Amino acid sequence: MSYIEKNIEEVRKEIHETCSKIGRNSEEIQLIAVTKTVDYERINKAIGVGIQNIGENKVQEIIQKYDVVSNVNFHMIGHLQTNKVKYIIDKVKLIHSVDRRSLAEEINKRAKKHEKIIDILVQVNVANEETKFGLASSEVFDFLEKIQSLQHIRVKGLMTIAPYAENPEEVRKYFKMLKEIFEEIKTKKFPRIEMKYLSMGMTNDFRVAIEEGANIIRVGTGIFGRRNYNQ
């Protein structure tokens, strides 16, 4: 068994155990294998053991991998420049990182050209970190009101990246905050906005994120090992 296979098995076991502990069904949880900097062979190993969704944070990597990696859904999870939307619009299943109106409008425009409707998540910077992208919690409702009429995008939920913490208990509060916003949006009954996906939790904190309601987790290091950015 390869280390990738073992790691995936371990992550699945932990998803399962976390869910059992709190009475959730582990089938609710979508595992996205984060494949940034990971080469084709290793990605294909993961797909070979049942990974159906991969996450990338660079447009360039999506373009390069799209033709050589098949039978998997691509997710855009990183900061997306408006002028690069056109390169990935026909390649991605879900864009997790929508954080401004100009980006939502560009996705809408490009999706319309392709006669598609693109699913998106709104990225929220719940911890208000200066170094991170995402809307402030206080901006989310106003943002949804402004983009809700765009006919070629469909808002499907929220995403956040928690600050890194040695002890994941320290970021539990941020997951709780995002879940609260998620539930509050549901009560507003925006006609075209569905709060279905809550994308939160990475290698270090996905157990806590699941406990707080995540149904999409994004795991890179825990599957492929430490990333080498110099290759």
> Of 11, 19, 29, 77, which one interacts with ligand PLP (CB under 6 A)?
77
State yes or no: residue 124 binds ligand PLP (CB under 6 A). Answer: no
Q: Would you say 19 or 223 has its CB closer to ligand PLP?
A: 223
> Of 30, 35, 53, 57, which one interacts with ligand PLP (CB under 6 A)?
57
Give the helix/strand (H/E) hosting 75.
strand 73-76
As measured in angstroms, the least distance from the Cβ of 14 to ligand PLP is 13
CA distance 217 to 22: 17
- 157 sits in the region (left: phi over 0; alpha: psi -120 to 50; else beta) called left
DSSP codes of every residue in 146-203: HHTT-TTEEEEEEE--PPP-SSGGGGHHHHHHHHHHHHHHHHHT-TT----EEE---T
Residue with token string 């402004």:
146
Span from 39-47, 65-73, 104-112, 217-225 in contact with ligand PLP (CB under 6 A): 217-225
CA distance 159 to 50: 24
> Of 29, 34, 47, 62, which one interacts with ligand PLP (CB under 6 A)?
34
Judged by CB under 6 A, the number of residues near ligand PLP is 14
Strands 30-34 and 153-159, how do they pair? unpaired
Span from 14-22, 43-51, 146-154, 199-207 in contact with ligand PLP (CB under 6 A): 199-207
| Token representation of residue 95 | 């864009």
Q: Site map for ligand PLP, 82-121, x if CB under 6 A?
A: ----------------------------------------
Nearest in space to 100 (alpha carbons), one of 108, 92, 90: 108
Q: Would you say 53 or 204 has its CB closer to ligand PLP?
A: 204
State yes or no: residue 157 binds ligand PLP (CB under 6 A). Answer: no
Residues forming contacts to ligand PLP in the complex (CB under 6 A) are 34, 36, 57, 77-78, 161, 202-204, 218-222
